């Protein structure tokens, strides 16, 4: 073939052929280019060998190493920084870090000083494999660490949650007049916010701006999330205005962060204002937007607004086949003790989520029949298939299992319910408290009341009544009277059953006359409270209304 060509090809032609074979995924055939070079009576140059080595590394690092030993080193071509950089890249991509260090030693023994790229490649591999400390030590060998070096190490320390080392390196980076890229800065901001140090994150972004760096929407959104997680969505909103003033346009994730922050703080009107503002800015709400708002509204007792937003979501076709917002509606109805409406809503969901609704209704049916085993089997199947049961399913199953005396599994089921951010209402707690009392586990029942208060759920007379009854049956009047006093402090009026239990217990006490005076004071106080509370609704027109006309239940 060489005899038919008038001009001998130069090395660039051969390099182009090698790269073409690489793009065509014919990597192994690139080795044959050496034979082609010799056919033209030429000696393979380092540039040609490096191009072949680069192609082979992408195929198999061991194949590339054999090529280096047998085709290059054996012919006296020991390579340059670029050669060893290619090999280092191949070794690090396959996590052959020990071999990478050997290669580093080989370079030094041949008088080749590893350049910044080679060091950065090895440091990146070390950091990726959790050896960021060793990577930082390796940086001390470098003559000229650059921005990439600092980006790698700062990001690695952020992944480990090591804020101190990340900030120390960031400070050194600033001192050397380097500017970390926006991805690295965002990771630092995120770590600071996760540690509750959003104000320090603001300072980092300000320093980046002072040095001429740019901050994108992702970094600002991360900062806004940080303030929202601290319960300061108003501060986050100020940074929304700041980013807009600097020409950095917010995206749907920015607004979603603020909406979630306002919902978590109970500022539902502000959350709805954010929705309207994003629409004004021509940013379309996505599923997360609707899901967050509907849940927040339902948690806040604003069911009517929740239903309206659900209709908007369906009209915009942003549901994405996900059941979350519908479960939020059920949860809102459950929190308002409207189980019948929740059940009807569940049935109406059948056209959207036929399998989930069918399984839920079967589970509820088994619970009604007292067939706990079948109900639990369906629940396990739902969890296994990745379907999130509704609050109605949890409540019904917990109550059913309590009635069957399976208090341990009921308690575990309640924990699962809470893990999905479905906080039980008083009636669900009461079922467990009552069963703990039936089994004589007074301390467990008392602890559950404490946890009940911790979740923001107010105990009812049904929370204390089983405890008082159990204590009285044990003859422990002192603790029973203590609970009665606690009820008085919380403004909870005992029912007739509780009064009867206390009176029967007192008649059996030997020290009745000693206790009578203090008990009568307690009774008089309770009766006075009861008379005041029974009169209050009549003065207020039978119902008390909160803000925005929401109806507040009256005991």
pLDDT, tens only, 91-126:
999 999 999 999 999 998 888 889 999 999 999 999
* Domain membership flag for residue 250: no
Q: Judge if 382 and 323 occupy the same domain.
A: yes
pLDDT digits (tens, 9 = 90+) for 453-484: 887 888 888 888 888 888 888 888 888 888 88
State both tokens at 218. Answer: 């992702």
Instruction: Return the H-helix or E-strand segment holding 115.
Output: none
| Out of 208-217, 294-303, 527-536, least confident range | 527-536
pLDDT above 70 coverage of the chain, percent: 90
**Burial status of residue 435 (CB atoms within 10 A of its CB: 0-12, 13-18, 19 or more):** buried
Domain that holds residue 432: 425-555
Q: Is the pLDDT of residue 162 over 90?
A: yes
Task: Categorize the per-residue pLDDT at 321 as very low, low, confident or very high, splitting at 50, 70 and 90.
Answer: confident
* Domain membership flag for residue 348: yes
The tally of CA atoms less than 13 A away on the side-chain side of residue 346 is: 27
* Domain membership flag for residue 432: yes
Q: Judge if 555 and 430 occupy the same domain.
A: yes
Q: Which residues pair with 552 in a beta bridge?
A: 544
* Domain membership flag for residue 142: no
pLDDT digits (tens, 9 = 90+) for 403-419: 888 888 888 898 898 88
Q: Judge if 410 and 455 occupy the same domain.
A: no
- Given 397, 420, 443, which residue is the final one in a domain? 420
- Given 401, 420, 439, which residue is the final one in a domain? 420
Q: Judge if 409 and 434 occupy the same domain.
A: no
Non-local CB neighbours of 50 within 8 Å, separated by 6+ positions? 79, 80, 82, 83, 86
> What would the mean pLDDT of 155-166 be, rounded to a whole number?
95
* Domain membership flag for residue 34: no
Tell me which residue has tokens 């052929």: 17
**What CATH number corresponds to the domain at position 331?**
1.25.40
Q: Judge if 444 and 480 occupy the same domain.
A: yes
- CB burial readout 2-11, b (16+ within 10 A) else e: eeeeeeeeee
Q: Judge if 394 and 490 occupy the same domain.
A: no
Q: Is the pLDDT of residue 540 over 60?
A: no
Q: Is the pLDDT of residue 235 over 90?
A: yes
> What would the mean pLDDT of 371-392 be, rounded to a whole number?
92
**For residue 229, how far is the Cα from the chain centroid?**
12
Tell me which residue has tokens 């952020």: 158
Tell me which residue has tokens 């996900």: 322
* Domain membership flag for residue 289: yes
In the DSSP assignment, the letter for residue 7 is S
User: How many domains does the chain fold into?
Assistant: 2
Q: Judge if 374 and 359 occupy the same domain.
A: yes
**For residue 64, how far is the Cα from the chain centroid?**
43
Q: Judge if 394 and 473 occupy the same domain.
A: no
- Given 380, 399, 420, which residue is the final one in a domain? 420
Q: How far apart are CA 61 and CA 462, in angstroms?
A: 71
Q: Judge if 434 and 344 occupy the same domain.
A: no
pLDDT at 118: 94
| Out of 29-33, 323-327, 381-385, least confident range | 29-33
* CA distance readout (Å), 363 to 121, 239, 393: 56, 48, 8
State both tokens at 123. Answer: 């440091």
Give CA angle at 129 (124, 134), nearest 5°.
65
* Between 543 and 247, the higher pLDDT residue: 247
DSSP-H helix ranges across 230-371: 233-245, 252-264, 268-280, 287-299, 303-316, 324-335, 339-348, 354-369
In the DSSP assignment, the letter for residue 544 is E
Q: Judge if 396 and 436 occupy the same domain.
A: no
* Domain membership flag for residue 485: yes
Maximum separation of any 2 CA atoms in the chain, in Å: 127
The helix-helix angle for 11-23 and 46-59 (nearest 10°) equals: 10
pLDDT at 137: 92
How large is the C-alpha radius of gyration of the chain?
35
Among candidate residues 18, 74, 80, 76, the one with its CA nearest the CA of residue 9:
18
The tally of CA atoms less than 13 A away on the side-chain side of residue 473 is: 12
* Between 35 and 516, the higher pLDDT residue: 35
DSSP helix/strand/coil, 282: coil
Asked if 490 contacts 525 with a C-beta cutoff of 8 angstroms, the reply is: no
Q: Judge if 405 and 473 occupy the same domain.
A: no
* Domain membership flag for residue 40: no
Q: How far apart are CA 425 and CA 62, in angstroms?
A: 63
> What would the mean pLDDT of 193-215 be, rounded to a whole number?
93
Q: How far apart are CA 61 and CA 107, in angstroms?
A: 18
Q: Is the pLDDT of residue 547 over 80?
A: no
pLDDT digits (tens, 9 = 90+) for 129-155: 999 999 999 998 898 899 999 999 999
Q: Judge if 437 and 517 occupy the same domain.
A: yes
pLDDT at 504: 79
Asked if 68 contacts 87 with a C-beta cutoff of 8 angstroms, the reply is: yes
Q: How far apart are CA 492 and CA 542, in angstroms?
A: 19
DSSP-based helix, strand, coil % in the chain, nearest 5: 75, 0, 25
Handedness of CA 332, 364, 426, 551 (dihedral sign): positive
DSSP 204-261: HHHHHHHTT----HHHHHHHHHHHHHTT-HHHHHHHHHHHHHTT----HHHHHHHHHH
> What would the mean pLDDT of 248-260 be, rounded to a whole number?
96
Neighbours of 253 (CB within 10 A): 17
Task: Categorize the per-residue pLDDT at 393 as very low, low, confident or very high, splitting at 50, 70 and 90.
Answer: very high
């Amino acid at each position: 073939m060489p005899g038919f060509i008038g001009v001998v090809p130069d090395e660039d032609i051969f390099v182009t052929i090698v790269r073409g074979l690489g793009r065509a995924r014919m990597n192994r055939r690139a080795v044959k280019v050496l034979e082609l070079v010799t056919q033209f009576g030429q000696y393979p140059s380092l540039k040609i060998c490096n191009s072949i080595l680069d192609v082979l590394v992408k195929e198999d690092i061991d194949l590339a190493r054999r090529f280096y030993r047998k085709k290059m080193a054996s012919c006296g071509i020991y390579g340059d920084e670029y050669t060893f950089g290619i090999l280092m890249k191949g070794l690090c991509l396959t996590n052959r870090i020990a071999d990478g260090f050997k290669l580093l030693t080989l370079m030094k023994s041949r008088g080749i000083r590893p350049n910044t790229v080679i060091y950065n490649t090895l440091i990146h591999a070390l950091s990726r494999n959790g050896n960021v400390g060793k990577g930082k030590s390796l940086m001390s060998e470098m003559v000229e660490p650059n921005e990439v070096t600092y980006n790698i190490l700062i990001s690695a320390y952020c992944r480990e949650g090591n804020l101190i080392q990340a900030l120390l390196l960031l400070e050194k980076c600033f001192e050397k007049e380097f500017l970390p890229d926006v991805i690295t800065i965002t990771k630092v901001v995120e770590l600071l916010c996760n540690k509750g140090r959003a104000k320090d994150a603001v300072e980092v972004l300000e320093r980046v701006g002072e040095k001429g760096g740019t901050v994108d929407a992702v970094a600002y959104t991360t900062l806004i999330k940080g303030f929202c997680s601290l319960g300061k969505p108003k501060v986050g909103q100020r940074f929304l205005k700041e980013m807009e003033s600097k020409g950095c346009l917010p995206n749907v994730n920015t607004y979603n962060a603020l909406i979630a922050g306002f919902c978590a703080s109970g500022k539902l009107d502000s959350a709805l204002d954010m929705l309207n503002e994003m629409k004004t800015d021509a940013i379309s709400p996505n599923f997360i937007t609707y899901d967050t708002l509907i849940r927040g509204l339902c948690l806040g007792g604003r069911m009517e607004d929740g239903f309206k937003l659900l209709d908007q979501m369906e009209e915009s076709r942003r549901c994405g086949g996900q059941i979350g917002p519908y479960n939020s509606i059920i949860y809102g109805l459950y929190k308002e003790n409207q189980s019948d409406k929740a059940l009807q809503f569940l049935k109406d969901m059948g056209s959207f989520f036929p399998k989930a609704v069918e399984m839920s209704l079967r589970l509820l049916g088994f619970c009604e029949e007292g067939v706990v085993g079948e109900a639990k089997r369906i629940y396990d199947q739902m969890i296994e298939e990745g379907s999130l049961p509704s609050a109605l399913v949890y409540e019904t199953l917990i109550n059913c299992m309590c009635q069957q005396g399976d208090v341990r599994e009921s308690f575990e089921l309640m924990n699962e319910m809470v893990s999905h951010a479905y906080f039980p209402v008083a009636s669900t707690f009461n079922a467990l408290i009552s069963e703990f009392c039936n089994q004589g586990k007074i301390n467990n029942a008392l602890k559950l009341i404490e946890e009940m208060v911790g979740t923001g759920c107010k105990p009812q007379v049904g929370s204390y009544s089983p405890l008082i009854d159990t204590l009285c049956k044990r003859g422990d009047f002192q603790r029973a009277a203590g609970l009665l006093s606690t009820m008085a402090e919380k403004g909870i009026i005992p029912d007739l059953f509780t009064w009867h239990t206390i009176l029967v217990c007192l008649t059996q006490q030997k020290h009745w006359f000693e206790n009578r005076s203090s008990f009568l004071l307690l009774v008089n106080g309770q009766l006075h409270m009861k008379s005041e509370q029974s009169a209050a609704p009549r003065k207020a027109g039978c119902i008390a209304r909160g803000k925005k006309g929401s109806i507040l239940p009256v005991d």
